[in-house]
Homo-oligomer: A and B are copies of this chain.
Amino acid sequence: MSSDKKEPRSTIFDIDKEKDFPDWFGEICKVAELADIRYGVKGFTPFPPWSLMTMNNMFDILEEVLQRKDHLPMLFPTVIPESNLTKEAKHVEGFVPQVFWIEDTGDDEKLEERLALRPTSETAIYPMYSLWVRSWRDLPMKRYQRCSVFRSEIKSTRPFLRGREFLWIESHNVYASHDEVKAQVMEDLETTKEVVTDNFGIPVMVFRRTQWDKFPGGLNTYAADTLMPDGKVIQLPSTHDLGDNFARAFDITYLNENNETVYAWQTCYGPAISRIFGALISVHGDNKGLRLPFKIAPYQVVVIPIFRGDDADAVLKYCEDIQKTLKKAGLRVHIDKRDDTPGWKYNYWEMKGVPIRVEVGPRDLKGNKAVLFRRDTMDRETIDITDLKKKVLSLGTEIDKNLRRIAESRFEGLVVDADSFGAIEDALDKGKIARIPFCTTEMEGLSCDEEIKDRTGGEVRGTRIDVEEKPEGVCVACGKVATEIVYIARSY
């Protein structure tokens, strides 16, 4: 029995996020109890309630949007037989190096065939789609699953941002034509914006990735990047036009209305909620800790009773009435009844990022008042208790708008035109993204990307698809005539 392991309870958080982001990130994961890196297996971290409850709220919003757009949930096994995993040649190349393999069970019994922990589920799902898709009547088939995936090759791990097990939704869709596939890709990008930007307050830039940076086995990859406090970009959801490549590898055919058997067309889309959560806490947090959006905070409101001795019962009863009123309005409300000082509790819940705090003392009780505190601006306001519900709801909306506005302001003036390695490096050193004329995002452009990476530390993120852009001049790297405008950033 040892007690030296016991650490003191968390106190005030105070780290400069912009100046020392890695330290800020590591510390907030620890003191806000978001992830515990002491589990003992590299890249695998337990998620305590605070992070899991937030991610569950994020999942719920994403699932609601997907279901509104006619995607149905399903769930496939965690393991994939090796013979399926290796059916699509480029996919094998991309994913086999990342696989955790299961070969033995129990007391060293060998399995008939090796099983992979899914790194992604195309090769689990598509053999079944081959059986499930029969005629044009079955199409489109729009489905998704919410699960963990496993990738061993991730060497340098960080909670949420780069884990060997992470949480995501993968949507797998089958269509009768390539046009419908292209429309689904656009729908996915709209979903990304609705969920990630409108609901979570994280602005994104959307790119078509280069041919050397696309999903292994697909035709084209489209992805949303956001900006982290250290000036690097991070990829949030990506969606893939798979063409009919996987349909050919897994024999996904259907009888069309002319009674002909033809290959189907496919997309897949993979929003990694745990990674988006990592970006979310980084983008919205400040030097005092987390600032969670009202929409997804596990507790949207925390109520702090303030009393000495005699007033205790009356104040607690008042707090419970407040909780009841707000719960009736559908809000998630917590009363902190712990045996600690109000000041300690204020610091604690500020660090945890709860959007709204209600402070209630004997004087508030007598005057039918309460104090509302908003975490985003740290402003306080005394209100009449009869206005409570209205005030909390409007403040919640305002907080989310404000967090989004702050995040979006970092995107202003972010893109800088560059036409030389020096200008690119200069932009990146200032935490900017460089916009350059480039030879081509087809495979022949790879060596130019590599040269840019060597000389500037940045990489080609792709071409914009929401803005039409015409290049002038020559490729910064090889000097050939530019055919595209691409964006260069340092990245996760």
Q: List A residues at the B interface (Cβ < 8 Å).
A: 1-3, 5-7, 9, 36, 38-41, 44-49, 52-53, 56, 72-79, 81, 84, 96-107, 109, 113, 115, 117, 124-125, 127-128, 130-132, 134-135, 137, 143, 148, 150, 152-153, 165, 167, 251, 253, 255, 261, 263, 338-339
Contacts and interface: CB of A to CB of B under 8 A. Distances in A.
Contacts of A263: 1
Contacts of A253: 1-3
A46 B73 contact: no
B6 A134 contact: yes
Contacts of A103: 101, 103-104
B99 A101 contact: no
A72 B45 contact: no
A106 B77 CA distance: 20
A7 to B, nearest CB: 7
Given A3-B255, A74-B52, A107-B96, A79 B131 contact: no
B100 A152 contact: no
B47 A78 contact: no
18 contacts: A1-B253, A6-B255, A36-B132, A39-B127, A44-B77, A44-B78, A46-B124, A47-B75, A48-B132, A49-B74, A53-B73, A75-B167, A79-B100, A96-B107, A98-B106, A100-B105, A103-B103, A117-B117
B52 A75 contact: yes
B41 A128 contact: no
Given A103-B101, A127-B40, A339 B137 contact: yes
Contact of A72 (B49, B165, B255): B49
A1 B77 contact: no
Given A40-B81, A41-B81, A5 B130 contact: yes
A41 B152 contact: no
Contact of A150 (B78, B101, B339): B78
